[in-house]
Structure formats: structure tokens, C-alpha cells
């Protein structure tokens, strides 16, 4: 519905919402939620699928490869080496050359280890992968990831699974000023208004999993997120009214958030 399409590494996508596959009550529920979300890119934790079971009823078999672009991710990898190995495995299994690169810093907060991330990104780009790195909302890091050849940057909005929403829109704004690759918010959103706000800030896309899979009604929430992303993007393109203390105030307020 929105005019501008999301372009990652030369490929165009109509939906700006990407979703994960973890934490669903059943594969059937997952399929229905994916469908409801309107997502075209579906991310899968390589370490959580049994690649040997592909084609024999494993979770991956529920995801129609003609309909969706599969995005293998390196969830549960805590070193560059682990993450690199996992990406190679995904490629060998024929999953994809485009990977969501995660190198986690600890099991408790699931924040990225950005130092290891840089190492892994360097190797993987050199090996021809299209790398989409999950990272902190740190402009210097994002510029480095872009310079290394990553196809996008995926700063977190808040800790994975926290549902806290966009904790630091200022950092996202600064990142968007500084890099040319798509900025895709990854992790931390909790509800539809969070998704809309991310898009209104000008982010190119958003990736989420827990917010949908962990909702009381995941399928309804998947629809809500789809609508929230579309609403936010359209509002961004439509050009909102300025903020003012009251309508007749002469000078607009410019606090960035949603402006």
C-alpha cells in the first residue's frame, strides 16, 4: 500500500515486517501467524532446526519457500566462530546466502557482542554472504558494519523479548542519518504502536518474534503488527502535522519522536 518498497541487497519486498518462527504453541499456529503478518521474509534459527530432518516434517517444511524468503539466523551463537560456522552450515543445507547475523553477549540479556559481530561480519561478507547484522543502536558500529559490506544494519529497539518498544529513537535517527543501507529495527517491540513508531521515525523495516508469538492471541497480534507497520510507514510518507504546544502557537516543537 505504501509507495516505497523495501530493497535489501537489490531485492525488493512489499512488506516491511519480518518475523521469526520461535516460541509458537504449534507449527500450525506459526503458519497462521506468518500468514497474518503479511511478512515476506521469515527468519529461522539455524541451531534450532534439525537440518537433517528437512523434508521429513520439521518446522522448516511448514514454510513455503515459494511464498517466503527464508532468512537463516545465528541465534544462540556467542562467538564469531560459532556464528560463522552456523552460516556456512545454513548455506550448505541450501537455506540461503542472506543471513541474519547474531552474536550474543550473554544468555541473560541477549544483547549483541558487537566486537565479535564485527569479526564475523568481515569473514562472512568475504565469503559472499549477504549479511544482515543484529547490533546495538550505535552509530559508529553501524557505520563499520556498512563499511564491511553488510547489506543492512539491524539495531535493537530494546532487549530481545523485553517488549519495551523503541527505547532510544534519538540513536535510531542518528544511525539513519549516517548510513545508506537499510536500517531495520530488530528486537524489543511489544505492541502495534511500537511498530508504527519505528516506521514513523523513518526506519526501513522491522523484525520481531516474541511480540507476536508471545501474545495471548498470536494470530490477532500478527495482524495488528502488519497493520501497525503499514500505518506507520504510510504516516511517514504522508507527512504529519508539526507538533505545537497548541494549534495557534507560532513555533513548532521538534522533539524528533514521531516527527
Please identify which residue in the block is written with the cell numbers 492471541.
217
Contact call for residues 164 and 198 (beta carbons, < 8 A): no
Q: Using CB under 8 A, which of the segments 47-55, 58-66, 120-128, 216-224 binds a second copy?
A: 216-224
DSSP single-letter state for residue 249: -
* Partners of residue 153 on adjacent β-strands: 183
For the question of residue 100 being annotated catalytic, the response is yes
For position 83 contacting a second copy by CB under 8 A, the verdict is: no
Q: Which of 98, 104 has the CB closer to a second copy? A: 104
Q: Using CB under 8 A, which of the segments 45-53, 64-72, 87-95, 158-166 binds a second copy?
A: 158-166
10 Å CB burial of residue 155 (0-12, 13-18, 19+) is: buried
For position 5 contacting a second copy by CB under 8 A, the verdict is: no
Q: Which of 158, 179, 203, 206 binds a second copy (CB under 8 A)?
A: 158
Q: Which of 19, 70, 98, 192 binds a second copy (CB under 8 A)?
A: 192
Q: Is 73 annotated as a binding residue?
A: no
For position 122 contacting a second copy by CB under 8 A, the verdict is: no
DSSP single-letter state for residue 72: E
For position 225 contacting a second copy by CB under 8 A, the verdict is: yes
- Distance of alpha carbon 202 from alpha carbon 214, whole angstroms: 26
Nearest to 71 by CA among 28, 134, 1: 134
Question: Which candidate in 23, 56, 100, 108 is catalytic?
Answer: 100
Q: Which of 110, 121, 181, 207 binds a second copy (CB under 8 A)?
A: 110
Contact call for residues 126 and 118 (beta carbons, < 8 A): no
Measured N-to-C along each axis, helices 114-126 and 139-148 cross at an angle, to the nearest 10 degrees, of 20
For position 133 contacting a second copy by CB under 8 A, the verdict is: no
Extract the annotated binding site: 161, 187-188, 209-210
Active site residues: 100
Extract the annotated binding site for 1-deoxy-D-xylulose 5-phosphate: 161, 187-188, 209-210
Amino acid at each position: 500500500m505504501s509507495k516505497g518498497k523495501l530493497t535489501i541487497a537489490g531485492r525488493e519486498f512489499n512488506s516491511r515486517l519480518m518475523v521469526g518462527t520461535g516460541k509458537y504453541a504449534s507449527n500450525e499456529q506459526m503458519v497462521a501467524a506468518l500468514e497474518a503478518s503479511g511478512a515476506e521474509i521469515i527468519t529461522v534459527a539455524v541451531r534450532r532446526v534439525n537440518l537433517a530432518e528437512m523434508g521429513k516434517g520439521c518446522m522448516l517444511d511448514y514454510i513455503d519457500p515459494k511464498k517466503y524468503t527464508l532468512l537463516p539466523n545465528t541465534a544462540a551463537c556467542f562467538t564469531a566462530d560459532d556464528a560463522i560456522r552456523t552460516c556456512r552450515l545454513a548455506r550448505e543445507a541450501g537455506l540461503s546466502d542472506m543471513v541474519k547475523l547474531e552474536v550474543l553477549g550473554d544468555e541473560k540479556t541477549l544483547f549483541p557482542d558487537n566486537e565479535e559481530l564485527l569479526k564475523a561480519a568481515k569473514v562472512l561478507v568475504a565469503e559472499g554472504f549477504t549479511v544482515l547484522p543484529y547490533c546495538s543502536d550505535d552509530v559508529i558500529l553501524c557505520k563499520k558494519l556498512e563499511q564491511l559490506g553488510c547489506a543492512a544494519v539491524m539495531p535493537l529497539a530494546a532487549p530481545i523479548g523485553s517488549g519495551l518498544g523503541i527505547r532510544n529513537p534519538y540513536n535510531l535517527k542518528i544511525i539513519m542519518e549516517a548510513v545508506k543501507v537499510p536500517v531495520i529495527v530488530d528486537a524489543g517491540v511489544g505492541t502495534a504502536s511500537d511498530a508504527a513508531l519505528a516506521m514513523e521515525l523513518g526506519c526501513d523495516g522491522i523484525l520481531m518474534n516474541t511480540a507476536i508469538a508471545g501474545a495471548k492471541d498470536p494470530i490477532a497480534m500478527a495482524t495488528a503488527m502488519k497493520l501497525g507497520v503499514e500505518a506507520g510507514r504510510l504516516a511517514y510518507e504522508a507527512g504529519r502535522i508539526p507538533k505545537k504546544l497548541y494549534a495557534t502557537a507560532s513555533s513548532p516543537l521538534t522533539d524528533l519522536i514521531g516527527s
